Structure 1
Amino acid sequence: MLALAAWINLPAVNRMFDRSADRVAALPPASPFRSGQRVLVLSPHPDDETLCCAGMIQQAESAGAQVYVVWATAGDGFEFDAVLTQRVLDPGPQQMRRLGNGRVQEARRAAAVLGVPAPRTFMLGYPDGGLFRLFTTHYEEAYTAPHTGASAVYVQDALTPGAPYTGRALEDDLRRVLDQVRPDVVLAPAPQDFHTDHHTLSFIALRLMSARGQEDRLRFWVVHGGLEWPIPKGLHENLPLTLPPLAARLPWERVSLTAEQEQRKLEAVNTYQTQTRILGRFMRAFVRQNELLSPEPLPEQGQAAEAPGNAP
């Protein structure tokens, strides 16, 4: 299995057998951002906003739009991250909370690299890996995160410090952000994204925006799109970002990036030093000639729908 993964990640193999690059070239361009627009990026974890949308954020700011970023979690659930960054074999709640606060700081720096000032960012700080539980079994009753031991928001500079880890509190915070920002465009994870935090935040975004009669303002992206995607791993700035297998049937649009935008995106990716030590090849694989955006959360009628748990 490891040999197969290494083989399919070779750029030459990718170019030889993968015709999805041609599909990307044939995609229609996404509508450009306009001066005066208010664009909100919904990011499940610190770094998702950069992987999915760093080029779009730059283009929106350059066009005269105002970009806002909201992080649902502080990314405090990755134990191996704490093992390497804090040099402890068995990280406990204190180390995991320290990791969460560290990732909050990285998120602010990455946003600044992309031109989004701190007053236009919102850290909610709900539990990494726990959003589906908040959405379902812990909508009213507080959830205790297994890695941090926390049952309420603890991260520094959170929007609502001490908010309980419940689905209701999470939705109240998101409503507060929507009320403050009044976005014209919302960039959200697609329901097909494999990560549970990602597709759960997608469901919540769809419900909240539909309740406002503004679901047409949503645009969708994918970060966890299927086995080994994006291929090949590592930094390949001259290759396109191809269609994610788990969401290949969405009506994708292409956002072409300039070389300067790619370099700024790479700089923002590298800001996440806690993550790049482990996931650097995966994260830098998103620094490509384009980004992808879908105006719809589901495939067109008549096409089979993908599900987050399906194999690509």
Structure 2
Amino acid sequence: MTVLVIAPHPDDEVLGCGGVIRRFANEGHAVHVAIVTRGWAPLFPDDQVAQVRAEAEAAAEILGVTQLHFMDLPVTKLALLPEHELNGAMGGLIDQTQPNWVFLPYRGDLHEDHKQIFDAAQVALRPLPNRLNVERILCYETLSETHWHAPQAEPAFTPQTYIDITSTLATKIEAMRAYKSQLRDAPNARSIDSIEALAKFRGMTVHRMAAEAFVPVREVLAE
């Protein structure tokens, strides 16, 4: 099986499904991670961008990622791109990786990049003849994005799919520690304490010690 995790920004892949990435890698599946955006000067200094990219590479190695893709689209400026350009970039990623499972950011997240990437991925993942290998599409939750949006403005994140990460939670935490520039102290939402608390809460919702939770978009049970 080939798995593709689409992350709007570096560390979203770890926050949303770091445990699942390591679990699938342990099971012998090919796991691709695509980080869609990057910062550009003068808003983001070059040395800061280089540091975050190095952190992403370190986290990917810890999680056993098969291939890490940097798409280098402009962070916080996706709305300025022609729609066909973002859709085309996402389609090219799907063509390149040929995934069976795809993990996306949740469209109800606070960050506009998450919404636009979700929409572009939906265009790229239309069930056309060249996309019949896609069996499952799931949305993950991102601490500090998914639960900070007003529920009356966007549908709240209501998971129906849970994947046990009891055996890989520690590795998820290790991967998040690689993102030194992004990690914060508790009670910040992007702290180790917060990540552990959410994983345990999601796990105990389904009588497991730890889990990651997802909102399903599409599932196809082929012959």
Q: Which TM-score band applies after superposition, normalised by the shorter structure?
A: 0.7 to 0.9
Query: What residue identity is the alignment partner of 1:219?
Result: L
Matched, 1:133 2:80: yes
C-alpha distance in 1, partners of 2:215/2:54? 30
Q: Quick check: 1:189–1:198 contact (8 Å CA) kept in 2?
A: yes
How big is each residue's C-alpha offset from its partner over 1:96-132, in whole Å with a ceiling of 9 and x where there is no partner? Answer: 2322222111111101110114xx1110111111123
Pairs aligned (count): 197
Partner of 1:43: 7
C-alpha distance in 2, partners of 1:107/1:183? 21
Q: Quick check: 1:52–1:286 contact (8 Å CA) kept in 2?
A: no
Q: Aligned to 1:276, what secondary structure does the other structure show?
A: coil
Higher strand share: 2
State the identity as a percent: 26
Q: Which of 222, 228, 253 matches 2:161?
A: 253
1:148-167 equivalences in 2 (<5 Å): 167=83
C-alpha distance in 1, partners of 2:59/2:43? 25
C-alpha distance in 2, partners of 1:62/1:123? 23
Matched, 1:116 2:61: no
Task: State the TM-score, normalized to the length of structure 2.
Answer: 0.77
Task: State the TM-score, normalized to the length of structure 1.
Answer: 0.57
Q: 1:251 to 1:128 in 2, by over 3 A?
A: same
Consecutive unaligned residues of structure 2, counting only runs of 5 or more, are 200-209, 219-223
How big is each residue's C-alpha offset from its partner over 1:272-311, in whole Å with a ceiling of 9 and x where there is no partner? Answer: 11111578832221232221112128xxxxxxxxxxxxxx
Partner of 1:26: none
Q: Aligned to 1:281, what secondary structure does the other structure show?
A: coil
Consecutive unaligned residues of structure 1, counting only runs of 5 or more, are 1-36, 78-91, 140-166, 230-244, 298-312
Structure 1 or 2, whichever has the larger Rg, is 1
Matched, 1:293 2:201: no
C-alpha distance in 2, partners of 1:279/1:202? 29
| Higher normalized contact order (CA 8 Å, seq sep 6+, divided by chain length) | 2
Bigger shift: residues 277-286 or 38-47 = 277-286
Q: Aligned to 2:181, what secondary structure does the other structure show?
A: helix
Give the aligned CA root-mean-square deviation in angstroms: 2.8
Q: 1:99 to 1:253 in 2, by over 3 A?
A: same
